[in-house]
Amino acid sequence: MPDMTLKPKTPLNGYSETFGATVLEEIAGMGLVSIATPRGGVDALQGAVQSAYGCALPPTGSSTIGNDGAIRLMGLQPGQVFALFAYDGDTAVTEIEKALGDNGYYTDQSDSWAMLHLSGSAAIDALARICPLDLDASVFPDGTVARTVMEHMGVIVLREGTDGFLLMAARSSAANFLHAVEQSVRNVT
């Protein structure tokens, strides 16, 4: 019997480009799982997160880092966080389930998003061309997370460090999203 094993593809085929001191690249190999808090179960989930990852559930709009950086929890909406962790398998939910048990409702989002990392001196100026959020460090410090809209596409923005941003947009419009970010970088560099 022939090998029918399905080959995975990333949304942006491993895109990576440097513009002077600014770097734009696809991030792949991540597990992303949404964790919803059962009604009345926030304490249980909080406890499970604390003991599994050694960090707190983040409030909406911010993130926490657990297990010495192995996992990041992002507060996307009331009662829902996204867990982001390095993972190459097909069953990211199982990983979370193993850690948190039945203290949350889990949905795999690993294949739902195209992820881009933008970093470097022009990052903020470039994002200012498409992102309505105030990304000034005084308002949007390291670890802040937000969902917003850029060029008609929903985007999740996570700040990592002084001039690094993880950007996540719907997988189906990955090419358009890359085009939008790339154009912004070109327009300011």
Q: Which residues of the chain form contacts with another protein (CB under 8 A)? A: 3-11, 34, 36, 38-40, 59-61, 76-80, 90-91, 105, 107-113, 128-134, 136, 139, 146-149, 151-154, 170-173, 175-177, 179-180, 183-184, 187
Query: What minimum distance in Å lies between the beta carbon of 4 and another protein?
Result: 4
Strands 16-19 and 30-36: unpaired
Strand order in the sheet with 113-120: 16-19, 22-26, 113-120, 164-170, 153-159, 145-150
Query: What minimum distance in Å lies between the beta carbon of 68 and another protein?
Result: 28
Give the residue with the Cβ less far from another protein, 117 or 129. 129
Query: What minimum distance in Å lies between the beta carbon of 126 and another protein?
Result: 10
Query: What minimum distance in Å lies between the beta carbon of 63 and another protein?
Result: 14
Q: Are 12 and 116 a contacting pair, CB within 8 Å?
A: yes
Give the residue with the Cβ less far from another protein, 44 or 54. 44
Give the residue with the Cβ less far from another protein, 109 or 119. 109
Give the residue with the Cβ less far from another protein, 5 or 69. 5
Which pair of tokens denotes residue 10?
């990333």
Strand order in the sheet with 63-66: 63-66, 71-77, 80-86, 30-36, 105-108
- For residues 163 and 91, what is the distance between their CA atoms, to the nearest angstrom? 32
